[in-house]
Amino acid sequence: MLRRLFAALALTALLGTAAAQAQDDYPSNVITIVVPFSAGGPTDTVTRLVAESMSRTLGQQINVENVGGAGGTLGAGQVAKANADGYTLLLHHIGMATSATLYRSLPYDPRTAFAPIGLVTEVPMTIVARGDFPPKDMSELLAYVKENKDTVTYANAGIGAASHLCGMLLMSAIDTQLTTVPYKGTGPAMTDLLGGQVDFMCDQTTNTTEQIKAGKIKVYAVTTEKRLDILPDTPTGMESGLDKLQVGVWHGLYAPAGTPEAIINKLSEALKTALADPTVMERFAELGTAPVPADQATPAALQAKVTSEIDRWAPIIKEAGVFAD
Ligand code: ASP
């Protein structure tokens, strides 16, 4: 009896030592960051920039895996179920909070299924259209889409995506329902906008700035309170009479709930280093965004953001009466 007890204690101690060793050695394997949208889109762009820098700090390869679909909830659901060992992470955006209301039956609880690592960035949105879309400015756009509501098409990345949220705000402001064309991310939506297969969309500056500057697409408004330095001639939604059209797309890095604290802290430190990396900062600036301040790249700041944003968007979404299921 006593012998069995000793054996059990020894095994527990051994397992504890192995777990501590795994945390000390972390990361000893390739890390995967799941992006819940297609490659080439704005969340993907932010993730690849940050992952490259974090990989240098951690001395380990980081792969980016695109798992698009269902407005970001497919990829998030995949990471919620992954091993909590620090080797599968998720870089998601504001959809982490809005999907909590948009989906009445999500296979994970955004408040508890993840161990937050830190906030990454907040990106403004732009309302853009194919290059030959007739309206010249925002007021013409609003009149045009109202008049042609049966033929105009609005691209988004599925219900729960930021482009869906922005479109929902726009449509409810002008009290008009448009035909939406859902993609697995706004990377492919931009390809179709450039090809003229879809009329307009609302997307992050990280995906639209270069196309706007190259004159390939039209821009009507930015969703910030003030005009952006990189697009000084583009009015805000507010200037165009749409005072509710204010939305910033914040991004956060997560691990599955239960990931050891020592690993989360290592990742959070590497994230902070990435956000202070001149290469990342420079590219972010070119794309109309900036890293969050260092004190926001923390588990506590991201947890607080998820909770406050779920509370902030729930009544707005309920009032608009849009649900995915
Ligand atoms: N910008 C997309 C959205 O609408 C997502 C993406 O492709 O990054 O949420």
pLDDT at 152: 97
What atom in ligand 1 is closest to the CA of residue 161?
A: 9
For residue 325, pLDDT beyond 80? no
User: What is the 310 CA–ligand 1 centroid distance (Å)?
Assistant: 18
For residue range 75-113, what is the model confidence (pLDDT) as tens digits? 999 999 999 999 999 999 999 999 999 998 899 999 999
Pocket test of ligand 1: the residue of 65, 163, 168, 198 to mutate, having most ligand atoms within 8 Å of its CB, is 163
- Residue 153: per-residue pLDDT: 97
- For residue 44, give the ligand 1 atom closest to its CA: 8
Name which residue sits closest to atom 4 of ligand 1, judged by CA: 163
Work out the number of other CB atoms within 10 angstroms of the CB of residue 120.
29
pLDDT tier for residue 17 given thresholds of 50, 70 and 90: low
Look at residue 189 in the predicted model and tell me its pLDDT. 97
Q: HEC string of the chain?
A: CHHHHHHHHHHHHHHHHHHHHHHHHCCCCCEEEEECCCCCCHHHHHHHHHHHHHHHHHCCCEEEEECCCHHHHHHHHHHHCCCCCCCEEEEECCHHHHHHHHCCCCCCCCCCCEEEEEEEEEEEEEEEEECCCCCCCHHHHHHHHHHCCCCCEEEECCECEHHHHHHHHHHHHCCCCCEEEECCCHHHHHHHHHHCCCCEEEEEHHHHHHHHHCCCEEEEEECCCCCECCECCCCECCCCCCCCCCCEEEEEEEEECCCCHHHHHHHHHHHHHHHCCHHHHHHHHHCCCEECCHHHCCHHHHHHHHHHHHHHHHHHHHHHCCCCC
- Which of the four pLDDT bands, split at 50, 70 and 90, describes residue 159? confident
| CA-proximal residue: ligand 1, atom 5 (nearest) | 185
CA 319–ligand 1 middle distance (angstroms): 23
- Predicted confidence at residue 9, as pLDDT, reads 58
Per-residue pLDDT tens over the stretch 240-287 = 888 878 899 999 999 999 999 999 999 999 999 999 999 999 999 999
For the cut 90, the answer to whether the pLDDT of residue 14 exceeds it is no
Q: Which atom of ligand 1 is nearest to the CA of 184?
A: 7
Please tell me the predicted confidence (pLDDT) of residue 172: 86
Task: Give the number of C-alpha atoms closer than 13 A to the C-alpha of residue 226, restricted to the C-beta side.
Answer: 4
What single-letter amino acid sits at 258?
G
Please state, rounded to an integer, the average pLDDT across all residues of the chain: 93
Could you tell me which residue, 32 or 320, shows the higher pLDDT?
32
Counting from 1 in the atom list of ligand 1, the atom nearest the Cα of 204 is 1
In this prediction, residues 138-162 reach a mean pLDDT of 94
- Amino acid 2: pLDDT: 56
Query: Whose CA is closest to atom 6 on ligand 1?
Result: 185
What are the pocket residues of ligand 1 if the criterion is a CB atom closer than 6 Å to any ligand atom? 37-38, 41-44, 93, 95, 156-157, 161-163, 185-187, 203-204
Q: What pLDDT does 11 receive? A: 60
CA distance 141 to 128: 10
Per-residue pLDDT at 134: 97
Please give the distance, rounded to the nearest whole angstrom, from the Cα atom of residue 41 to the centre of ligand 1: 6
73/92 Cα distance (integer angstroms): 9
Instruction: Report the pLDDT value the prediction gives residue 49, as an integer from 0 to 100.
Output: 98
**Counting atoms of ligand 1 from 1, which one is nearest the CA of 189?**
7
Return the pLDDT at 105.
87
pLDDT tens string 166-201: 998 899 888 899 999 999 999 999 999 999 999 999
Query: Which amino acid residue places its CA nearest to atom 1 of ligand 1?
Result: 186
- The ligand 1 atom at the shortest distance from the C-alpha of residue 187 is 7
Instruction: Tell me the pTM.
Output: 0.92
Q: What is the dihedral of CA 220, 222, 227, 231, to 10 degrees?
A: -60
Give percent of the chain with pLDDT exceeding 70: 93
Number of the ligand 1 atom closest to the C-alpha atom of 185: 7
Which residue's CA is the nearest one to ligand 1's atom 7? 185
Q: Kind of pairing, strands 31-35 and 114-130? A: unpaired
Distance 273 CA to ligand 1 centre (A): 25
Statement: residue 8 has pLDDT above 70: no
If one residue of 34, 66, 91, 93 were mutated to test the ligand 1 pocket, choosing by the most ligand atoms within 8 A of its CB, it would be 93
Mean pLDDT of 207-225: 97
pLDDT at residue 318 is higher than 70: yes
